[in-house]
Amino acid sequence: MAEILLFHHAHGLTDGLRSFADRLRAQGHIVHTPDSYAGKTFDRLDDGIQHAQSIGHDALAEVAHRAAREHRHATIVMGFSLGAAQAQQLAQDLPRIRGCLLMGSCLRPLALGGDWRHQVPLDIHIADPDEWVDEQALNRLTFRAPHARVFRYPDRRHMFVDRSLRDYDADAADLFEQRVDEWLGTVALPVDHRAAARAL
């Protein structure tokens, strides 16, 4: 079992992401879904991006750190597109984080003010091609995290994993979820709250 912080994409905390979190819970994981948009969701990606820009990078980063403080035993982070920066930031900053999964985006480690911690398992899932993924940033991150695994999903659209969006592709989403389950099986250990507290 894992305790997970899951950060949403630019559309917001959609029904599709809520359903994904519920499926993880049904497998015995504890999943927290911080909502950077305070309940707002957007059908159009451009509208979601505009809203995120109005909130600002610092405020989004604070949402991530506040969630980490509130859920002090969470040791796995997942980020979808916009939320990838939040997940990656925590993975780089917090010694207790022992697994990071990014979907639809990533950043150069230095863009987040630090470096990748080599002992943290990292999986990255991206549509191929995906205009929202910076290949140079991906190369920089995987150079600093040579153990990282990158999964590409040919001919899919950016957020193919979210069944509430137009990008959704059932076959690719099923494969993504299968890979997530397998990955969690390797990084998720029984939750020891005392050990997690010592790692803060």
Q: Report yes or no: 149 and 176 within 8 Å, Cβ to Cβ.
A: no
Tokens describing residue 160: 């193919």
Please give the residue range of the domain that contains residue 108.
3-198
pTM of the shown model: 0.92
Rounded distance between C-alpha atoms, residue 105 and residue 68, angstroms: 21
pLDDT tens-digit readout, 38-82? 999 999 999 999 999 999 999 999 999 999 999 999 999 999 999
Q: Residue 36 — pLDDT band, cuts 50, 70, 90?
A: very high
Residue 168 DSSP symbol: -
Residues 6+ apart with CB under 8 A from 134: 105, 106, 107
CATH number at residue 52: 3.40.50.1820
* Mean pLDDT (whole number) for 135-160: 97
Total structural domains in the chain? 1
Distance, CA of 173 to CA of 43 (rounded, Å): 19
